[in-house]
Amino acid sequence: MTIRHILSGAAAALLALSAASAARAFEVVEKGIRIVDPWTPATLRPNLGNAVYMLIVNETAAPVHLTGVKSAAARANSLHVTVFADDGVTRMLRIIEVEILPGESLVLEPEAMHIMMTTLAAPLVKDQTVPVTLTFRELGDITVDVMVEGATAMEPRERPNPPAR
Ligand SMILES: [Cu+2]
Q: What percentage of residues in the chain have a pLDDT greater than 70?
A: 82
130 pLDDT higher than 80: yes
Q: What is the mean pLDDT of residues 143-148?
A: 96
Q: What is the mean pLDDT of residues 82-108?
A: 92
Domains recognised in the chain with CATH numbers: 27-149 (2.60.40.1890)
Average pLDDT, the chain: 85
How far is ligand 1, taken at its centre, from the CA of residue 82, in Å? 7
How far is ligand 1, taken at its centre, from the CA of residue 49, in Å? 7
For the chain, give the DSSP string: --HHHHHHHHHHHHHHHHHHHHHH--EEEETTEEEEEEEEEPPSSTTS-EEEEEEEEE-SSS-EEEEEEE-TTEEEEEEEEEEE-TTS-EEEEEES-EEE-TT-EEEE-TTSEEEEEEEESS---TT-EEEEEEEETTTEEEEEEEEEE-TT-SSPPP-PPPPP-
How far is ligand 1, taken at its centre, from the CA of residue 96, in Å? 13
What are the tens digits of pLDDT across the range 53-92?
999 999 999 999 999 999 999 988 899 999 888 888 888 9
51 pLDDT higher than 70: yes
**pTM, two decimal places:** 0.82
How far is ligand 1, taken at its centre, from the CA of residue 93, in Å? 7
